[in-house]
Amino acid sequence: MTPRAIVVLTGAGLSAESGIPTFRAADGLWERHRIEDVATPEAFHRDPDLVLRFYDMRRAAAAAAQPNAAHHALARLSRRPGVTLITQNVDALLDRAGAQDVIHMHGRLDGALCATCGHRWPAPPTMPRTLPCPACGAGAARPDIVWFGEMPYHMDRIEAALDRADLFAAIGTSGQVYPAAGFVDVARMVGAATVELNLEPTAPGRFDEVLTGPASRIVPAWVDSLTAS
């Protein structure tokens, strides 16, 4: 039976083949910095220049990357009725591949956020600490990124989608960062089938099916199997 409501969660493994390392990789962007120094509100308060330079570097790397076959396959899937596409990634590769209505639960590198009034606007290639907000004029710009210790975006939409899911898929995610790591358990409680697509299994026993291999190979094949049915 073809699932009517599909929820897909993607993580860093989806974009690794596009040249964006996962932050837990040995050669990852995060290797030269502790997470506590660049990805928390406290870090931004303590040393905003360091944090802004770090995200300028990440923004440039994401802008130079290109969507891979897995992004394009999920873009095709997103155009079908009943599909909810959620990403933990802060790059825009799914959007650039043509995916529709991607839920960026951790924000986007190409966005700026005013820490004073909450206004959002497209981020420039480099973001100085005194960048004025177009809405209120305050020089309090920060990356529009959900840092550790902050609440992910769009949780109401995500929870509503999980509550009605027939199929939940986790693609290229470590299963270690909550609340996203708990989405599979919510899906199972409502009776959805669950599948993990990853280089290797991350949560034995929590998924009904596990497909292993590079995302650029296994994701298009999985999407083809869904659309063919």
> Pick the catalytic residue: 33, 45, 106, 154?
106
> What's the pTM?
0.93
Which residues are bridge partners to 29 per DSSP? none
Torsion of CA 91, 153, 184, 23, to 10 degrees: 40
- Catalytic site residue 106? yes
Per-residue pLDDT of the chain (229 residues; tens, 9 = 90+): 567 899 999 999 999 999 997 765 454 445 477 888 899 999 999 999 999 999 999 999 999 999 999 999 999 999 999 999 999 999 999 999 999 999 999 999 999 999 999 999 999 999 998 999 999 999 989 999 999 999 999 999 999 999 999 999 999 998 888 899 899 999 999 999 999 999 999 888 899 999 999 999 999 999 999 988 6
CA angle 31, 32, 38 (to 5 degrees): 95
Q: What are phi and psi of 131, to 5 degrees?
A: -55, 120
